[in-house]
Amino acid sequence: MPAAAPEAAPAPPQEAARPVPAARRRAEGFLRADFPWYGLDEAFTGPRWLMQVGTGADGTVEHGSTGHGDEPSVRGELATGEKERFAVVITVASNPLRRSGDGTGVLEATSVSSAAWLAGSGLLAYSWPGQMDHSLRDDWLEQQTEAAWELADDLDGPDWSVLSLPVDGEPTSFHYRESEFGWVLAGSTGAGVHLGAYGRGMSAYGLGFSVIGDLAEYQP
């Protein structure tokens, strides 16, 4: 099964003399990573923003997300009647099977399935089926999250197709699937990371990915 640490925004430094803006805190989390971050390439000219990083038990940054287009909300489409257009790119550090920091166990390796799982669960977090009562959504989300996990563990199954998209200008194969809530894809790069992505209202077929050269492009 793919495993991933829960995403959480890093806490502000305790020694800070004044509150640190949330955008800067997020940037600091991204800057702690020892792998390159990916986003949509220069063909995308819309808004960009930083989301959150996920860390391991020892505080090592393991993955993170960057957003493009409209910032999604859980009930945005139902509440406003307007369809949000967004794409989120997830970068996952490529880690082989390795020992935990205290040497007492083995940590599961990351893989394309890890990226697929993060993308699938990420899309669900911003989805809300029509006619569903608020009290029922938690149960629905739990069931759908388990289904997303199973799908991510079977990338060669019939629910996935193959989509070729440019990564740093090179054609790259991705596992791709669509649902009523949007699309999800996952693949690997030549830069030693796995990529996941999900979106709604923006076609995945015209997207391209590239290393983010300057995080300032993703800050207000």
In tens, the pLDDT along 41-55 reads: 999 999 999 998 998
In tens, the pLDDT along 192-202 reads: 899 999 999 99
Whole-angstrom distance, CA of residue 177 vs CA of residue 156: 11
Q: Residues 193, 35: contact at Cβ < 8 Å? A: yes
Q: What is the pLDDT of residue 134?
A: 59
Q: Residues 209, 195: contact at Cβ < 8 Å? A: yes
- State the average pLDDT over residues 165-172: 96
Per-residue pLDDT band at 71 (split at 50, 70, 90): confident
The pLDDT of residue 75 is above 80: no
Q: What is the pLDDT of residue 72?
A: 80
- 103 compared with 14, residue with greater pLDDT: 103
Per-residue pLDDT band at 39 (split at 50, 70, 90): very high
The residues that bridge with 195 in the sheet, in sequence order, are 91, 187
Pinpoint the alpha helices (H) of 91-217: 112-125, 134-152
The pLDDT of residue 15 is above 50: no
pTM, two decimals, is: 0.80
Q: Residues 2, 114: contact at Cβ < 8 Å? A: yes
- 212 compared with 219, residue with greater pLDDT: 212
The pLDDT of residue 35 is above 80: yes
- State the average pLDDT over residues 91-115: 68
Whole-angstrom distance, CA of residue 21 vs CA of residue 13: 12
Q: What is the pLDDT of residue 219?
A: 83
In tens, the pLDDT along 19-28 reads: 445 555 578 8
| Per-chain mean pLDDT for the chain | 79
In tens, the pLDDT along 111-168 reads: 899 899 999 888 888 876 656 555 666 666 676 667 777 888 889 999 999 999 999 9
Q: Residues 35, 115: contact at Cβ < 8 Å? A: no
